[in-house]
Structure 1
């Protein structure tokens, strides 16, 4: 119960702050969606609701942690966490964003407790495809005129790995198609296999 209450209190602080500073579109990021799925899964003690965000963000968020750790010692790996060291972002906002670092480990603990649900992968793929399509066709891309400087652009990297410019390695539709196909095959499917092998099945305990 203490974990549920503490997590809920954190989300209750984060949501209005993010809404005020970044706007509602910020909650289209995979990590933010997973934050809410984990909240529902914790209170309902539902293995599927906890397994869906785990298979979706475990590997990317571990990469985020590695990039953050490297940046902290002066080594920039991928630039994913450059904003965490940008004085242009308030210290309070950056502190809230630290959930990217601890959420994957919390999800691993929770899934270990309740078991991994084998249907998490197809559910996450469907949700992620919807989110990516919405971000690609309706959300701003790098270079667009924004209502505020902190309005999110290139949400879920549908225009490339940079928030300041669109990738030029391939046509924009090709990059989008690469994400839609490549993420399930190269990121989420291997994560699913690892969770199926190393964690108990939901309902096995």
Structure 2
């Protein structure tokens, strides 16, 4: 919420329809994924982002939304490129989205996975209204460094959640598991968060996104 002036109650910056629409999505998506895929699926950073975005929208929490912008912006874009290219040519240039074309996967699960296209739009709209918090890079990196080891310790290796057992959904055998995990934790923020952070700060300096205020 925007800061109060003269003791008046804070004024909402984000539109109510956005908050209600995203809440309706979570209400439909979360239990469906629990039934179809089980609770371990929530360890995926993109799924965790959905819940944090919901909280961020209702609280109009600039830092929380900025963190999730880093989490979903590039990942969602790469996901879209991989799915779109595979749909047109049958080739996955990046990998990791093969499940979208796997008939053994429930159709509802695959359709709901299209939320990867929606999350960046929702968070982008929120940041356009609220502004981007530069400290998001440090906080989202810390969150990732908690979620990735937790995925390694608490989820089934066969599921390879957050690619903790190998990149692009495949298991790797060319590095010791813990060495690979350390490398993943180091590269995840560098490859996926830092470029988005730098681009967003560049847009902020040019007045296209509000300052952190």
What TM-score, normalized by structure 2, do the two folds share? Answer: 0.85
1:159 & 1:104 partners in 2: Cα distance?
26
1:6-34 CA-partner distances (Å, limit 9, x unpaired): 11111100111111111111111000111
Query: Are positions 1:94 and 2:100 aligned together?
Result: no
Determine the structure 2 residue equivalent to 1:149: none
- Using the TM superposition, name which of 182-191 and 26-35 deviates more: 182-191
Q: Which residue of 1 aligns with 2:141?
A: 125
Q: Does 1:111 align with 2:127?
A: yes
Contact 2:165 2:177 in 1 (8 A): yes
Aligned CA-pair RMSD: 1.4
Counterpart of 1:13? 28
DSSP 3-state at the match of 1:9: helix
* Counterpart Cα distance in 2 of 1:84 and 1:131: 24
Other-structure match for 2:206: none
CA displacement at 1:200 relative to structure 2: 2.5
**Contact 1:118/1:201 (8 A) holds in 2:** no
Q: Aligned partners of 1:115 and 1:16: how far apart in 2?
A: 32
CA offset digits 1:172-202 (Å, max 9, x no partner) = 1221111111122232122212111213322
Matches within 5 A, 1:35-114: 35-74=50-89, 75-114=91-130
Instruction: Tell me the residue number matched to 2:181.
Output: 176
SS where residue 156 of structure 1 aligns? Answer: helix
Out of 192, 197, 202, the position equivalent to 2:197 is: 192
Residue 202, structure 1, aligned to residue 212, structure 2 = yes
How far off is 1:162 after superposition? 4.6
**Separation in structure 2 between the aligned mates of residue 187 and residue 98 of structure 1, nearest angstrom:** 20
Deviation beyond 6 Å, 4+ runs, structure 1: none
Query: Size of the alignment, in residue pairs?
Result: 192
Give the deviation of 1:82 after TM superposition.
Answer: 1.3
Distance 1:134 1:186 in 2: 20
Unaligned runs of 5+ residues in structure 2 are 1-15, 204-208
Larger radius of gyration: 2
Query: Could you say which residue in structure 1 is the equivalent of 2:160?
Result: 154
**Any conservation in 2 of the 1:47–1:116 contact (CA below 8 Å)?**
yes
List alignment gaps of at least 5 residues for structure 1. 143-152
